[in-house]
């Protein structure tokens, strides 16, 4: 394996493990599962605990797989899904730059994970046939992020039913409401 890819795999994998364990256990000055769940609820990822567990497990597990050089396509896919969800729910509205809370760092992490998506075989990483692995991981990551969005929408409380009837002017009024009872 080339030293550059080993360094990339080690650094990115270790940072993802740290980030995931911040969510799950509060390690490395993290907030822990309950605070992460509350944050996720606040950004519309409901139920928050389920999404916090999924994100923490994806980051911890995907990072560990990268760190060990195992199941790289799967690791890249789950990490990509998690970062795309973070971009969509937290960073997109802030623009690209991290100095403004944007998504540039998330994109760098996605690019790094996809660069490592090829299975680890001695002397094989970085070959010209690695792009299908990266493309597959990207597509699986997009599908995973879409699944998280669908799950969040399914976890939303139902909209409150309209309790006031509309009168002829389109305004809810006492008389209109009384006529519906």
Contact criterion met (CB below 8 Å) for 96 and 42: no
pLDDT band for 180, please (50, 70, 90 cuts): very low
**Is the pLDDT score of 90 beyond 60?**
yes
**Is the pLDDT score of 160 beyond 90?**
no
Q: What is the pLDDT of residue 128?
A: 65
Q: What is the pLDDT of residues 91-138, one digit of tens each?
A: 999 999 999 999 999 999 999 999 999 886 544 555 567 889 999 999
Q: What is the pLDDT of residue 166?
A: 37
Kindly list the domain boundaries of the chain, sorted by start residue.
3-121+129-156
Cα distances from 62 to residues 20, 58, 156, 169, in angstroms, run 9, 5, 27, 57
Q: What is the pLDDT of residue 103?
A: 97
Contact criterion met (CB below 8 Å) for 69 and 118: no
Mean pLDDT calculated for residue range 161-174? 38
Q: What is the pLDDT of residue 29?
A: 97
Ordered alpha helix ranges (H), the chain: 3-25, 32-42, 48-68, 72-86, 104-115, 131-154, 174-179
Torsion sign across C-alpha atoms 130, 146, 108, 92? positive
Q: What is the pLDDT of residues 16-75, one digit of tens each?
A: 999 999 999 999 999 999 999 999 999 999 999 999 999 999 999 999 999 999 999 999
**Is the pLDDT score of 168 beyond 90?**
no
Question: Which residue would you say has higher pLDDT here, 126 or 87?
Answer: 87
Q: What is the pLDDT of residue 48?
A: 96
DSSP 157: P
Q: What is the pLDDT of residue 57?
A: 98
Q: What is the pLDDT of residue 118?
A: 86
């Amino acid at each position: 394996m080339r030293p550059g890819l080993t360094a990339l795999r080690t650094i990115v994998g270790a940072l993802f493990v740290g980030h995931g364990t911040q969510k799950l256990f509060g390690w490395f000055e993290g907030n822990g599962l309950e605070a992460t769940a509350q944050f996720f609820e606040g950004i519309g990822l409901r139920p928050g605990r389920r999404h916090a567990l999924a994100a923490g497990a994806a980051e911890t597990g995907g990072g560990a797989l990268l760190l060990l050089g195992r199941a790289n396509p799967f690791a890249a896919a789950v990490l990509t899904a998690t970062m795309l969800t973070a971009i969509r729910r937290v960073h997109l509205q802030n623009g690209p730059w991290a100095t403004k809370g944007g998504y540039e760092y998330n994109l760098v992490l996605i690019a790094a994970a996809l660069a490592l998506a090829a299975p680890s075989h001695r002397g094989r990483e970085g070959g010209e046939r690695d792009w299908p692995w990266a493309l597959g991981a990207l597509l699986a990551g997009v599908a995973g992020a879409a699944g998280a969005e669908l799950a969040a929408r399914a976890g939303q409380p139902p909209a409150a039913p309209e309790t006031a009837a509309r009168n002829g002017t389109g305004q809810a009024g006492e008389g209109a409401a009384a006529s519906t009872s």
